[in-house]
């Protein structure tokens, strides 16, 4: 189906009925994009049992008319939330669900003021995010294309990984190649780290120059048709010593262990446990400093989380990262991250960059 918006809005209406609310309001651009197709960065979507309206301003008039499906477009002049509030008040709406995570305290106050005392604003969390977690075929195709694009760039980048190049230079080369191949920006700040700096899981590219016989960690992603990819590769500039090789193999085995168990119906924490137990048997579990993965989609971090204590089950249509890592202070870090679609049968890897230890 090319226009899945009606089905998504129908699910929101079910929530309205279940929670005895007259309207659902989202001011989160990712969420209104998902529900009505509008890709502008400012607006609000109001869904009621029998109608829906997207509020935005004159800058987006043409774009909204072209993109929005299943909702009327209302252009406001003096602020989106005052316009929404006024509209709700005029229609005598009594109980309105809004997304607690999408409004600041000041915005909530502005909305409340415009609604007047008779409208009850009820905070909600995760309503759209839970729907977004399960991707349809078109969404998976977009993520697959995004993962492929990011993977292709890695192979283009390998010849540039030479002693003397600086972290920020390599990051710029990577991002330039993503853009050239059609990525609309980067979904997060690209990570490039050399040597001992690879022990920082979220290193920011610095002016540090690469020396011979050092680890190189790259964590990057593409955005294609609004969908993100996210992958990490760790390579060695030179011939890797035995300890680095052993550690690399242990991280790769942990990743494969997680991949082998990932399937619908399994609690997300079990995928994390598979990676963690594998590293434990190699004596490395205490150096694994983060969760095993996270959902990706319109955003780089979304449901489901794949970490300790995450009891929610995986479902077919989830797309997650699997990214175990080991960080040894003073020596360096190794992380391997791939994007994985949960299918009816199990799991399918969407990223195609080579996974074995590359010695350059
Ligand atoms: Zn990443
Ligand atoms: Zn990630």
pLDDT digits (tens, 9 = 90+) for 209-218: 999 999 999 9
**Digit-coded pLDDT (tens) for 304-324:** 999 999 999 999 999 999 999
Mean pLDDT of the chain: 97
Q: What is the mean pLDDT of residues 71-92?
A: 95
pLDDT at 291: 97
DSSP annotation of 114 reads H
pLDDT at 1: 42
Give the H/E segment covering residue 171: helix 167-180
User: Are the CB atoms for 326 and 247 separated by under 8 Å?
Assistant: yes
- Measured in Å, residue 230 CA sits from the centre of ligand 2 at 5
Residues whose beta carbons lie less than 5 angstroms from ion ligand 1:
219, 230, 232, 337
- Measured in Å, residue 80 CA sits from the centre of ligand 1 at 34
Give percent helix, percent strand, percent coil of the chain, each to the nearest 5: 40, 25, 35
Residue 291 CA: which ligand is closest?
2
Backbone angles phi, psi at 56, to 5 degrees: -155, 180
- Measured in Å, residue 144 CA sits from the centre of ligand 1 at 16
Q: What is the mean pLDDT of residues 93-98?
A: 97
Residue 111, classified by CB atoms within 10 Å of its CB into exposed (0-12), middle (13-18) or buried (19+), is buried
Beta bridge partners of 223: 228
Asked whether residue 2 carries a pLDDT value surpassing 50, the answer given is no
Q: What is the mean pLDDT of residues 83-112?
A: 96
- Measured in Å, residue 219 CA sits from the centre of ligand 1 at 5
Q: What is the mean pLDDT of residues 259-283?
A: 98
| pLDDT confidence band for 3 (50 / 70 / 90) | confident
Residues whose beta carbons lie less than 5 angstroms from ion ligand 2:
230, 321
Asked whether residue 173 carries a pLDDT value surpassing 50, the answer given is yes
- Measured in Å, residue 338 CA sits from the centre of ligand 1 at 8
**Digit-coded pLDDT (tens) for 150-168:** 999 999 999 999 999 999 9
Q: How far apart are CA 307 and CA 286, in angstroms?
A: 15
The CA dihedral of 11, 36, 109, 61, to the nearest 10 degrees, is -160
**Digit-coded pLDDT (tens) for 24-61:** 999 999 999 999 999 999 999 999 999 999 999 999 99
| pLDDT confidence band for 330 (50 / 70 / 90) | confident
């Amino acid at each position: 189906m090319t226009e899945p918006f009606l089905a998504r809005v129908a699910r929101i209406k079910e929530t309205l009925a279940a929670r005895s609310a007259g309207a659902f309001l989202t001011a989160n651009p990712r969420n209104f994009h998902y529900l009505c197709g509008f890709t502008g960065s400012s607006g609000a979507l109001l869904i009621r049992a029998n109608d829906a309206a997207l509020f935005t301003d004159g800058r987006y008039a043409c774009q909204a008319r072209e993109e929005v499906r299943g909702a009327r477009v209302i252009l406001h002049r003096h602020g989106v939330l005052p316009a929404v509030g006024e509209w709700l008040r005029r229609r005598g709406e009594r109980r309105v669900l809004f997304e607690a995570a999408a409004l600041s305290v000041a915005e909530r106050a502005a909305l409340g003021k415009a609604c007047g005392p008779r409208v009850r604003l009820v905070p909600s969390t995760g309503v759209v995010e839970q729907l977004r977690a399960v991707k349809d075929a078109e969404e998976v195709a977009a993520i697959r294309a995004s993962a492929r694009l990011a993977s292709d760039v890695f192979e283009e980048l390998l010849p540039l990984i030479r002693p003397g190049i600086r972290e920020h230079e390599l990051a710029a080369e990577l991002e330039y190649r993503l853009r050239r191949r059609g990525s609309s920006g980067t979904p997060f700040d690209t990570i490039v780290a050399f040597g001992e700096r690879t022990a920082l899981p979220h290193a920011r590219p610095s002016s540090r120059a690469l020396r011979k016989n050092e680890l190189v960690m790259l964590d990057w992603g593409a955005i294609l048709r609004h969908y993100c990819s996210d992958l990490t590769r760790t390579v060695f500039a030179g011939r890797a010593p035995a300890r680095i090789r052993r550690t690399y193999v242990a991280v790769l085995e942990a990743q494969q262990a997680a991949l082998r168990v990932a399937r619908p119906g399994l609690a997300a924490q079990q995928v994390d446990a598979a990676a963690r137990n594998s590293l434990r048997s190699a004596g490395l579990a205490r150096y694994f400093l983060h969760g095993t993965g996270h959902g990706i989609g319109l955003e780089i971090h979304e449901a489901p989380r794949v970490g300790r204590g995450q009891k929610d089950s995986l479902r077919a249509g989830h797309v997650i990262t699997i990214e175990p890592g080991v960080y040894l202070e003073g020596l360096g870090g190794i992380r391997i991250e791939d994007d994985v679609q949960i299918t009816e049968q199990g799991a399918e890897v969407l990223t195609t960059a080579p996974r074995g230890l590359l010695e350059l």
